[in-house]
Structure 1
């Protein structure tokens, strides 16, 4: 069941989203060759604690960290690690912030040092695909309109859209209905209504869209070793258009 949010509830989620966005801005200053994703994870947890927030995914189904840190061919759910980031890497940091019981979710892919033009283009196209999807998040449209817009753009640029991992509703729980696909057909799927709050979070691969899961049961990689990028915002459907609650 889709839980529609009141204006007051959306405002509470926006407070969580503002703190999350500020944390990402701070990360952008810190991510560099030689930094470990475990150091990044500890920074995030400390930052959230100072802002009266908690990391919602820590402990979720046994997940042990405050962030997901996905490097290069890791699509999502990567474990923070002691391995230093290298010049030319890309890394996606995904976090869900709980502020006084209300949640916001956002992932961002960062360039580490100086990356190749191919890496830069993958990151830029993925970011653009997110905003193209957000443009379709208006009252009266359907979820398929969002997925179709993302898929059409990404594939036209020569990239592939991950199928197995999706966006979702969010509120006081991390994962609510509906499921938000990043591919699909226009005019299909659930109709968007005022008060819906969802995540749009396309994961775009340089190679095939297919994924595999590591032995740890969490880390998701491209099957062909190709690079993957992701950008995610939490979005409220309003009478004035899509409201980005995690806007940087």
Structure 2
């Protein structure tokens, strides 16, 4: 079901979105060489509990998962990109870490993800992360009344193609509001001018994710963590966005975030302190 939100409801989602951004910023700050993923999980749990928020991931049990998810944040390293199950892994120099978080406050959800590099950054990893960030900003730019869902999908695919990265269509963005996953599904590849017409009040979690050399995925034995099928590194950028009468409103923008300029030759370094 697709539910349009009132300005007051979007404001309540924005409250949640600011908190999601705060937690992700803190996790990114703490991610360092020698830090265990379980330490990051427990830190996120503490922040959520103190805020009185509710994890959208705890007990999440979709058809593609293996049993209920019993963590509050997804943490994926290197070739892992989606639904990363926190486990006993100590971060190493040069690791690529994706943190993905969705919580609900007073009945309204927000969802966001970003990828950082721990320690020494390889240029090819910076480039991959930047591609997802540019794709996300391009998607946000066209999330305006009168455009169509296909315009968002096409914008993401255009940036990925410009960088030479393949695009997986099995997992993409989605509607969000009273629950983490609402309609519509937002593929990361599509045709401009097609699909649902965008209207004020529509709230979407837009999430381009890429693997360097494949659009195929595999699952870990844990039944949750999704990796690139060929072991190539990955990156994932996501924001919850509200379509308004005026400009798109990003509900999960991090304070330290400097939105990239599409097509720029150089941007902010995607390190853990970015």
User: Counterpart in 1 of 2:64?
Assistant: none
User: Counterpart in 2 of 1:19?
Assistant: 19
User: Counterpart in 2 of 1:35?
Assistant: 35
Distance, in Å, in 1 between the alignment partners of 2:43 and 2:168 is 29
User: Counterpart in 1 of 2:47?
Assistant: 47
How many correspondences in the alignment? 248
Distance, in Å, in 1 between the alignment partners of 2:94 and 2:103 is 29
Structure 2: stretches of 5+ with no match in the other structure: 62-67, 255-274
Which of 193, 198, 205 is the equivalent residue of 2:204? 198
User: Counterpart in 2 of 1:86?
Assistant: 92
Distance, in Å, in 2 between the alignment partners of 1:54 and 1:36 is 23
Which of 113, 126, 130 is the equivalent residue of 2:119? 113
Distance, in Å, in 2 between the alignment partners of 1:29 and 1:225 is 26
Distance, in Å, in 1 between the alignment partners of 2:73 and 2:22 is 15
User: Counterpart in 2 of 1:2?
Assistant: 2
Output one character per residue of 1:20-71: Cα deviation in whole Å (capped at 9) or x when no partner.
1111221222111111111111111101111121211111111111011111
Matched, 1:222 2:228: yes
Moved more, 213-222 or 172-181: 213-222
User: Counterpart in 1 of 2:272?
Assistant: none
Output one character per residue of 1:143-175: Cα deviation in whole Å (capped at 9) or x when no partner.
111111111111111112221111111111111
Task: Say what the alpha-carbon RMSD is for the aligned residues.
Answer: 0.9
1:138-217 counterparts in 2 under 5 A? 138-217=144-223
Distance, in Å, in 1 between the alignment partners of 2:197 and 2:54 is 32
Distance, in Å, in 1 between the alignment partners of 2:225 and 2:197 is 32
Deviation at 1:115, TM superposition (A): 1.7
Which of 67, 76, 79 is the equivalent residue of 1:73? 79
Structure 1: stretches of 5+ with no match in the other structure: none
Normalised TM-score (structure 2): 0.88
Distance, in Å, in 2 between the alignment partners of 1:150 and 1:72 is 22
User: Counterpart in 2 of 1:102?
Assistant: 108
Deviation at 1:240, TM superposition (A): 1.0
Normalised TM-score (structure 1): 0.98
1:57–1:63 CA contact under 8 A, matched in 2: yes
Moved more, 211-220 or 74-83: 211-220
| Secondary structure in structure 1 of the residue aligned to 2:85 | coil
Moved more, 61-70 or 50-59: 50-59
Distance, in Å, in 2 between the alignment partners of 1:81 and 1:216 is 10
Q: Pick the structure with more strand per residue.
A: 1
Deviation at 1:215, TM superposition (A): 2.5
